[in-house]
Homo-oligomer: A and B are copies of this chain.
Amino acid sequence: MTPDNLKLYRAMLTSRRLEEAISELWRDGLISGEMHLGIGEEGIVAGVVDHLDEGDAIAADHRSTPPMVMRGVDLPAIVAECLGSSAGLGRGLGGHMHLMSRRHIAASSGIVGASGPLACGFALANQQLRPDRVAVAFFGEGAMNQGMLMESLNLAGCWRLPVVFVCKDNGMAITTPSQSVTSGDLPERVRGFGIPAVEVDGADAEAVWQAASEAILRARRGGGPGYLHASCVRPEGHFLGDPLLRIVRRPVTELRAKVGPLTRAASSPQGAGVAQRAASLGGITTMVARAAGMRGRDPVRRHRARLEIDRGRLEALENEVESAVRAAVEEALASLEEVSA
């Protein structure tokens, strides 16, 4: 089987454009803190969500805009929720870390790892009420060290739940390189739970689609859980306003206040030996360098380059997406004004 690549492209582009628009609103001060974007992971989300239909469920993490967009949740309601408008998905009460749609059995949480148990619960309900329907859990590689997620792997395995765990590995958990706090190899860890684990390049939406197809089909047929480990990047940092990315982008301004205290601390008497201090400073430099190195491997651009379609149709599609996003933002902004008026 092969995916409808144009459909995948539309999904990814819509998510990308919407998140870019959200970034603008955030910069204008209209969206409050901790706005985590899924830019860089659209290839993973598109390749998985394309397989889902009525009755299938999604448990998402703090980067939940792409799955909601791609699952077909109302765009204006998503933006309105980010704005805190009462026209939002959660009437402005939940916010961007809690995008949810009952109709799509899709919910998200800001507690790292919480998508594991939630997806198991969705899958359990499907097992009892809607045989052949599945649940998908999205989370990052950092979340793989959270107990409730590891427990969920075991629970899904022993209850043979129709759930597919999707790990979006961008290598980082905020400023911490996940490898430095992870023992062993993650797909191997999952296999240790008796769950088939597949590694895939998350920048390649089509490859993800293929891998997901198999895992989801197996789950639908009662074959139990599956796991996809998909690499990705985090070009916009941990969240909008990421301090490390600010340093990368405006080193002079951002470092001014930091360098003095840092060098003072690093050279204060009492404390670690020179080698350890040097190692720390090296660690800090690497931290910043990693933030800078998160560009490239853009799943959307890559997918676009592969499309075999004439330029005119492509541009038409892109214009459609642009206008849908623009309309969504306008509608959301209007809803906000109505309330404050």
Q: A210 at interface (Cβ–Cβ under 8 A)?
A: no
Interface residues of A in 136-190 (CB under 8 A from B): 145-148, 150-151, 153-158, 180-185, 188-190
Q: Given A158-B180, A182-B158, are A192 and B194 also a contact pair (CB < 8 Å)? A: no
Q: A114 at interface (Cβ–Cβ under 8 A)?
A: no
Interface residues of A in 192-221 (CB under 8 A from B): 192-195
Q: How far is the CA of A270 from the CA of B151 in the complex (A)?
A: 33
Chain B nearest CB, measured from A117 CB (Å): 10
Question: A192's contact among B147, B148, B157, B189, by CB below 8 Å, is which?
Answer: B189
Chain B nearest CB, measured from A289 CB (Å): 21
B146-A151 in contact (CB<8A): yes
- Of chain B, the residue at the smallest CB distance from A180 is B158
Chain B nearest CB, measured from A135 CB (Å): 17
Q: How far is the CA of A98 from the CA of B318 in the complex (A)?
A: 66
Chain B nearest CB, measured from A14 CB (Å): 36
Question: A189's contact among B155, B182, B193, by CB below 8 Å, is which?
Answer: B193
Q: Which B residues are CB-close (under 8 A) to A145?
A: 151, 154
B192-A188 in contact (CB<8A): yes
Q: How far is the CA of A157 from the CA of B146 in the complex (A)?
A: 15
Q: Which B residues are CB-close (under 8 A) to A185?
A: 192, 194
Q: Which B residues are CB-close (under 8 A) to A189?
A: 189, 192-193
Q: How far is the CA of A139 from the CA of B185 in the complex (A)?
A: 24
Q: How far is the CA of A43 from the CA of B276 in the complex (A)?
A: 43
Interface residues of A in 46-67 (CB under 8 A from B): none
Q: A191 at interface (Cβ–Cβ under 8 A)?
A: yes
Chain B nearest CB, measured from A307 CB (Å): 39
- Of chain B, the residue at the smallest CB distance from A150 is B150
Q: Given A145-B154, A151-B146, are A192 and B195 also a contact pair (CB < 8 Å)? A: no
Q: How far is the CA of A146 from the CA of B148 in the complex (A)?
A: 8
- Of chain B, the residue at the smallest CB distance from A156 is B183
Q: How far is the CA of A189 from the CA of B232 in the complex (A)?
A: 26
7 extra interface residue pairs, beta carbon distance < 8 Å, beyond A154-B181, A183-B195, A184-B194 = A145-B151, A146-B147, A146-B151, A183-B194, A184-B191, A189-B189, A189-B192
List, sorted by A's number, 26 A–B pairs whose CB atoms are closer than 8 Å.
A145-B151, A146-B151, A147-B147, A147-B148, A147-B150, A147-B151, A150-B151, A153-B183, A154-B182, A154-B183, A154-B184, A156-B183, A157-B184, A158-B180, A158-B181, A183-B193, A183-B194, A184-B192, A184-B194, A185-B194, A188-B191, A188-B192, A189-B189, A189-B192, A190-B192, A192-B193
